[in-house]
Amino acid sequence: MAAGRRLAALSLLLSCACLISSQQIDPLLYEEQLLWVSGAQGEVSTYRIPLLSFTSKGSLLAFAEGRKSSASDVGAKFIAMRRSTDKGATWSPTSFIVDDGTERDGLNLGSVVVDEETGSVILVYSVCFHLFLCEPSSTMMVESRDDGLSWSPPRNLSVQLGVKTFAPGPGFGIQKRYMPAKGRLVVCGHGNIEGDGVFCILSDDHGLNWYNGAALKSIPYNQKKRPQDFNPDECQPFEMSDGSIVINVRNQNRYHCPCRVVVRSYDGGLSLPIDDLYFDYTLVDPAVAAGAMQKDGVLYFTNPSNEIHRVNLTLRWSETNGTSWDNKAVQIWAGPSGYSCMTSLDSGSPEDRKYIFVIYEKGHRDYDETISFAKIHLYGGR
């Protein structure tokens, strides 16, 4: 390529990048499709707890619990997966990558974490979480080393972590991209109601060995709870560009407000100092698992934005690291809606900067009727 043309191509590239970064965020629900419909397939009564992640090769993986005989949190389940190699335009048929058989308190999802250094995809989940006619509760892991096509047999992480009632996520775990602890895998979750709190498990060797990190315990810990007790529950961590980890947390007993709790770790998930905890009054919440992430310096948040009911799935964004949220929140679905999870591709290409992807529980009468995948154009379709 001639030097002049190379320069022209470079300046075009730069002006494109500038154009995008100076463009106003104006999210548009660009495409939507149902990935799972409860009751539509013989072996599954209800699909719930959707997770979504890109792999290091740019494939999209969607996961959900396939609850076999009822909508209940307990009972036997599959982990259902669908895979897309065209950024969500088309999807593989459902495969059941884990089957807990006839367990009366079977598996519960879970966190998906992608190791960008090895390319492996790790899914961490719990079994016997509710201690319903079983004990103890265990933390389990399956892994794919071929971009989500095949999965390892389940491995019992409680052997390393010790036996503890721990439900990862639901959502994604992270691999630290910045110091401190660059490369560390961080999976955060919660305990059962009495022993509730936000707990993170960490791995510094790509998922081979895991150890317990930060714990933000409920009050009173390991005791029965009352309304308005401090009871941090399901949570979604994401990394900021200064290397800190922000965790957006379900406020189970509505301590202080019917809104989200936000905590932050400055040491790669080893601690969650109470000094940095705050309540985000704008993020009104009915006590649910919400979606949260950071992309190109902007925070995104999805939840059913209502104090009481799981309705009104709403996308918010913040260009001030969560200090304030843009007042033009975008409603994705007015009706019943529950858990949600978000992802996006950080390839650096102008095209991938334009989109984020949301997976959420959506229905007409109840939020557990379907699992829906939504592609959001961040710049109004332009």
Ligand X SMILES: *[C@@H]1O[C@H](CO)[C@@H](O)[C@H](O)[C@H]1NC(C)=O
Residues marked as catalytic: 73, 234, 339, 361
Alpha-carbon distances of 239 from 78, 91, 93, 147, 343, rounded to whole Å = 30, 28, 32, 23, 13
**Measured from the CB atom, is 138 or 344 closer to ligand X?**
138
Phi, psi of 289 (to 5 degrees): -85, 125
- Choose the stretch contacting ligand X; rule: CB under 6 A; options: 235-243, 253-261, 266-274, 350-358: 235-243
> DSSP assignment of 210-257, as one string?
-EEEEEEE-BSTTS---TT-B-EEEEEEEE-TTS-EEEEEEETT-SSS
Binding mask 256-295 for ligand X (x = CB under 6 A): ----------------------------------------
**Measured from the CB atom, is 47 or 360 closer to ligand X?**
360
Query: Could you say whether residue 101 binds ligand X (CB under 6 A)?
Result: no
Q: Which of 271, 329, 330, 346 binds ligand X (CB under 6 A)?
A: 329
Q: What is the DSSP letter of 47?
A: E
- Choose the stretch contacting ligand X; rule: CB under 6 A; options: 45-53, 153-161, 165-173, 212-220: 153-161
Q: Which of 46, 120, 126, 312 binds ligand X (CB under 6 A)?
A: 312
Smallest distance from ligand X to CB 164, Å:
10
Residues ≥6 apart with Cβ < 8 Å to 86: none
- Choose the stretch contacting ligand X; rule: CB under 6 A; options: 200-208, 219-227, 234-242, 261-269: 234-242
Residue 261: which of 241, 238, 291, 231 has the closest Cα? 231
The whole-angstrom separation of Cα 98 and Cα 51 is 15
Q: Which of 72, 92, 158, 271 binds ligand X (CB under 6 A)?
A: 158
Whether residue 32 contacts residue 55, with contact meaning beta carbons closer than 8 Å, is answered with: no
Q: Which of 133, 163, 179, 219 binds ligand X (CB under 6 A)?
A: 163
Q: How many positions of this chain bind ligand X (CB under 6 A)?
A: 18
* Token pair 């790509």: residue: 206
The whole-angstrom separation of Cα 58 and Cα 270 is 30
Query: Could you say whether residue 156 binds ligand X (CB under 6 A)?
Result: yes
How many CB atoms lie under 10 A from the CB of residue 44?
A: 22
- Choose the stretch contacting ligand X; rule: CB under 6 A; options: 72-80, 156-164, 169-177, 338-346: 156-164
The whole-angstrom separation of Cα 240 and Cα 322 is 11
**Measured from the CB atom, is 171 or 322 closer to ligand X?**
322
How many CB atoms lie under 10 A from the CB of residue 38?
A: 21
Smallest distance from ligand X to CB 76, Å:
14
Query: Could you say whether residue 305 binds ligand X (CB under 6 A)?
Result: yes
Residues of the shown chain interacting with ligand X in the complex, contacts defined by CB under 6 A: 127, 136, 138, 156, 158-159, 163, 240-242, 305-306, 311-312, 314, 320-321, 329
